[in-house]
Amino acid sequence: MATPAAAHTDHSHAPDTTKYFVPEPSVWPFLLTAALVVCIIAGWGYLEDHSVGPIPPIVGALAAFYIIYRWVRGVCQESEGGFYNDQVGRTYRMGMAWFIFSEVMFFAAFFGALWYAREMSIPWLSGEGTKLATHLTLWPGFENTWPTNGPKALGGKFETVGAWGLPFINTVLLLTSGFTLEAAHHALKENHRKICIFWMWVTVALGSLFLYFQATEYMHAFHTLNLTLHSGVYGSTFFMLTGFHGFHVTLGTLMLAIIAIRLMLGHFKPDSHFGFEGVAWYWHFVDVVWIGLFIFVYVA
């Protein structure tokens, strides 16, 4: 039997899982926002030919990665330290579900813009549903064709990216990554940690390969096809949709790598691994969005 002193010492260091865990106030959200704002301003300057130089984006990116590392490390320590109970787990699941729902609405807005341009704006500008005299006065000779850079032919002539080249390869890569991620999840639930780690790194490699091929596609579009953000409504919707999706793949690949490293450090248990599941939810969402992109942007 433990002595009263020993019992008191053990109790003082053990987390009270009967109460809802409330973390201490943190400065990381504010600092991460500041770092990301610097990166966004630098990116805007590059796209609009108002470069702010190489130092701000490098400093902003390094600061963001450091802050994310410190923030994630703190959350991992809380989780592995046994501070979380079932109530915390439920709120994490609710939070991740609402986050993914917000991402669905985010992409729905851009898909809606694509539909509006193709099915409503372009036909109107070509004279459908308007008086012929008005059409001939405003945009004479403009035809209802897609893809288009608009009545003023902004950005000059361009060509589109073929669907059955790199976009199709990227589709295969992302769909395959969904299966490898599920193989890792199944291995974790069966407590086969080494197999789980193997499939996780395969998934990370597939995500990285997707990003490499997308960067290659962008360089080809810019330098060979003259397809840029300035290529009218088609160029803006194409790069907004594929670019934001690529950004999400980048974040997803980074999160998958963090989960793989945590697995190598012995984190997660077969019956308790929401950190893994949350990232898996996000990655499958990224897969589904890409299928929509491939069909409605590249094929249709």
Report the distance separating Cα 158 and Cα 282, nearest Å: 34
**Residues near 23 by Cβ (< 8 Å), separated by ≥ 6?**
78
- Rounded to whole angstroms, the Cα distance separating 84 from 88 reads 6
Phi-psi region of 268 (alpha: psi -120 to 50; beta: other; left: phi over 0): left
Distance (Å, whole) CA 146 – CA 150: 10
Lookup result for tokens 């590392």 = 69
Contact predicate 199/180, CB 8 Å: yes
Supply the DSSP symbol for 52. Answer: -
pTM of the model: 0.82
Q: Backbone dihedral region of 282: left (phi > 0), alpha (psi from -120 to 50 degrees) or beta? A: alpha
Query: Of 122, 169, 186, whose CA–CA distance to 290 is shortest?
Result: 169
Give me 235's structure tokens: 């160029």
Q: What is the CA radius of gyration of the chain?
A: 25
Cβ atoms 85, 15 nearer than 8 A:
no
Question: Bigger pLDDT: 242 or 22?
Answer: 242
Residue 130's pLDDT band (cuts 50, 70, 90)? low
Please say if the pLDDT value at position 4 is more than 50.
no
DSSP at 296: I
What is the 3-state composition of the chain as percent helix, strand, coil, each rounded to the nearest 5? 70, 0, 25
Q: Is the peptide bond before 147 cis (omega within 30 degrees of 0)?
A: yes
Average pLDDT of the residues of the chain: 86
Neighbours of 231 (CB within 10 A): 27
Please give the Cα distance from 24 to 90 (Å, whole number).
Answer: 20
Fill in the DSSP letter of residue 294: I
| Residues 60/96/106/217 CA torsion (nearest 10 deg) | 60
- Give the model confidence (pLDDT) of 224-271 as tens digits: 999 998 888 899 999 999 999 999 999 999 999 999 999 999 988 888
Q: And the tokens for 58?
A: 């490098």
pLDDT tens digits, 101-121? 999 999 999 999 999 988 888
Question: Tokens at residue 286, please?
Answer: 């990224």
pLDDT at 100: 95
What percent of the chain shows pLDDT beyond 90? Answer: 53
Asked whether the beta carbons of 259 and 177 are under 8 A apart, the reply is: no
